[in-house]
Amino acid sequence: MPELPPNARALLKSVFGYDDFRPGQAEIVGAVLNGGPVLAVMPTGSGKSMCYQLPALLGGGLTIVVSPLIALMRDQVQQMQALGVAAATLNSQNDAGENALTRRALRGGELRLLFVSPERLMMDGCIDELRGATLSRLAIDEAHCVSEWGHDFRPEYRELGRAARMLGGVQVIAFTATADKATRADIARRLFDKEPQIFLHSFDRPNIELNFAVKEQPRQQLSRFLARHRGESGIVYCGSRKQTDQLAEFLSSEGHDAIAYHAGLDHAARGRNQDRFLREDGVVAVATIAFGMGVNKPDVRFVAHADMPSSVEAYYQEIGRAGRDGLPADTLTLYSLEDMAFRRRQIDQKEQPEERRRVDHARLTALTMLCESPRCRRQTLLAYFDEDSPQCGRCDYCLGKIAVRDGAIEAQKVLSAAMRTGQRFGAGYLADILTGEASAAVLRNGHDSIKTFGAGKEHSKAAWASIIRQLVAAGALLVTEHGGFALSRTGEEILFGRETIALRNDPARPRERKPARRPFPAGEEAADGVLTALKRKRLDLAREQNVPAFMIFADRTLIDMTEKRPATLDDMRRVHGVGERKLALYGEAFLEALEQALG
- The neighbour count for residue 61, using CB atoms within 10 Å, is 15
Where along the chain do its domains lie? 8-200, 208-371, 403-505, 521-598
User: What would the CATH number be for the domain defined by 208-371?
Assistant: 3.40.50.300
Q: State residue 149's pLDDT score.
A: 60
Decide if 8-200 and 403-505 have a common fold. Answer: no
Q: State residue 183's pLDDT score.
A: 83
Let me know if domain 521-598 sits in CATH 1.10.150.80: yes
Nearest-CA neighbor of 398 among 204, 203, 209?
A: 209
Let me know if domain 403-505 sits in CATH 1.10.10.10: yes
Indicate the SS3 state at residue 140: strand
DSSP 480-504: -TTS-EEE-HHHHHHHTTSS--EEE
Q: Please report which helix (H) or strand (E) contains residue 356, including its range.
A: helix 354-371
DSSP 219-278: HHHHHHHHHTTTTS-EEEE-SSHHHHHHHHHHHHHTT-EEEEE-TTS-HHHHHHHHHHHH
How far is 40 from 175, CA to CA, in rounded Å? 5
Establish how many alpha carbons lie within 13 A of residue 138's alpha carbon, considering only the half-sphere containing its beta carbon.
Answer: 27
Give the residue ranges of the chain where pLDDT is below 50.
Answer: 507-518, 520-525
Q: State residue 2's pLDDT score.
A: 63
pLDDT digits (tens, 9 = 90+) for 464-473: 988 998 888 7
User: What would the CATH number be for the domain defined by 8-200?
Assistant: 3.40.50.300
Q: State residue 510's pLDDT score.
A: 39
How far is 243 from 98, CA to CA, in rounded Å? 39
Pairing between β-strand 212-214 and β-strand 403-406 as defined by DSSP bridges: unpaired
β-pair partners for 304: 236, 332
Q: State residue 151's pLDDT score.
A: 55
Exposed, middle or buried by CB within 10 Å (0-12, 13-18, 19+), for 563?
middle
Phi, psi of 200 (to 5 degrees): -115, 100
Q: State residue 512's pLDDT score.
A: 45
Q: Are 273 and 265 in contact (CB under 8 A)?
A: yes
Q: Are 23 and 299 in contact (CB under 8 A)?
A: no
